[in-house]
Amino acid sequence: MTNTHVDYQLSQLDQLEAESIHIFREVAAEFEKPVLMFSGGKDSIVMLRLAEKAFFPAKLPFPLLQVDTGLDFDEVLSTRDSWVERLGARMVIATIDEAIKAGHVVDDGKTSRNRMQIGTLLGAIEENGFTAAFGGGRRDEEKARAKERVYSHRDDFGQWDPKNQRPELWSLYNGRIHAGEHMRIFPLSNWTELDIWSYIHREQIEIPSIYFAHEREVIERDGMLLSVGPEIQPKGGEKVETRMVRFRTVGDRTQTGCVESEATDTASIIEEIAVARVTERGATRGDDRFSEAAMEDRKKEGYF
């Protein structure tokens, strides 16, 4: 048993943990059919850890939903499998290819797989009748997200209406929805990137190995370092080089760039972040770079 707290102080990281656990329990208690949207990235793994804590020793009272882009890194999938096995969690996998067949999304050859995730995700939520979907979004990620509620209401079309959000007061969350609508839930709303890493460090949480520095064949394209693979091949004057890199986010491997890094453990990553001069999205997500308002547009359509 831990010692008596003489000062009754809770550190900010413990306060964030307590808040997130509260949100998980509230959703499990009030929604008929919640689901946790699992991307395999560090944020969704931290969500899993918090959910594990919220319901221990019971199993998670909801399944995990993953949108399989067909372009996920192998390291991400193997970490996912290890988590799912340890927690005995149920897993629902929605693939973009099946969504294309089912007509939820159209592959016109111009749309990125990341963007096609929207239709795939909404299709899976609708087909399975999920009423609440946990997402790993954080308000510090991007300007449009700074205004999103913890409980973010989505209409029949899965869309977010930023001008018509419900007020959210105290820790009293309003989970009322009509048939056909669902709620996005963001238990990590108040966490920053540094908080996430510090928590991974403290709890020694298993995350995909590509977050840590390793040697990889890369090419430089539009100022981003992309991993050479079946889909990414050098064109024009592009040169394949082996560099020491790590990924800061783990999306679709054709869209996700890596950064040069020597950080092979969590403490070194935290050191890097503490002095980082570029936000994690700005650095490595091709899909956010098209316009300043890119994220806002995708959110309105029903993106995470």
Partner 1 sequence: MASTPQTQSSAGEEAAAVTENADLLRFATAGSVDDGKSTLIGRLLLDSKSIFEDQLEAVESTSQSKGYDYTDLALLTDGLRSEREQGITIDVAYRYFATPNRKFIIADTPGHIQYTRNMVTGASTADLGLVLVDARQGLTEQSRRHAVLLSLLRVPHLVLAINKMDLVDWSEEVYEKIHREFTQFATKLNIPDLEVIPISALQGDNVVNRSENTPWYSGPTLMHHLEHVHVASDRDLVDTRFPVQYVIRPKSDQYHDFRGYAGQVAGGVLKKGDEVVVLPSGMTSTISKVELFDTEIAEAFPPMSVTIHLEDDVDVSRGDMIARPKNAPKPSQDIDAMICWMTNEPLKPRQKLAIKHTTRTGRAMVKDIQYRLDVNSLHRDQEAGELGLNEIGRVQLRTTVPLLCDPYSKNRTTGSFILIDEATGVTVGAGMINSGS
- For residue 49, the minimal CB distance to partner 1 (Å) is 10
Beta-bridge partners for 133: 35, 184
Query: Judged by CB, which is closer to partner 1: 32, or 292?
Result: 292
The C-alpha atoms of residue 181 and residue 31 are separated, in whole angstroms, by: 12
Cβ neighbours for 79, distance < 8 A, ≥ 6 positions apart: 40, 45, 206, 207, 208, 209
Q: How far is the CB of 189 from partner 1 (least distance, A)?
A: 7
Residue 28 buriedness (CB in 10 A; 0-12 / 13-18 / 19+)? middle
CB nearer to partner 1: give 104 or 139: 139
Least Å distance, CB 236 to partner 1, is 26
* 225, β-bridge pairs: 220, 258
Residue nearer to partner 1 on the CB measure, 130 or 160: 160
Report the residue number, 79 or 117, with the smaller CB distance to partner 1.
79
Helix 74-87 / helix 42-55 crossing angle, nearest 10 deg: 0
* Of the candidates 206, 231, 227, the residue with the CA atom closest to the CA atom of residue 218: 227
For residues 249 and 118, give the distance between their C-alpha atoms in angstroms, rounded to a whole number. Answer: 18
Q: Which is nearer to partner 1, 164 or 235 (CB)?
A: 164
Nearest to partner 1 of 123, 187 (CB atom): 187
CB of 143 to partner 1, least distance (A): 4
The secondary structure of 124-154 as a DSSP string is: HHHHHT-SEEE----TTS-TGGGG--SEEEE
Q: Which residues contact 283 (CB under 8 A, 6 or more apart)?
A: 248, 257, 259
Q: What distance in Å separates the CA atoms of residue 119 and residue 176, rounded to the nearest whole number?
A: 24
- H/E stretch holding 186 reads none
Q: Closest CB to partner 1 among 115 and 300?
A: 300
Q: Are 237 and 256 in contact (CB under 8 A)?
A: no
| Smallest separation, CB 14 to partner 1 (Å) | 8
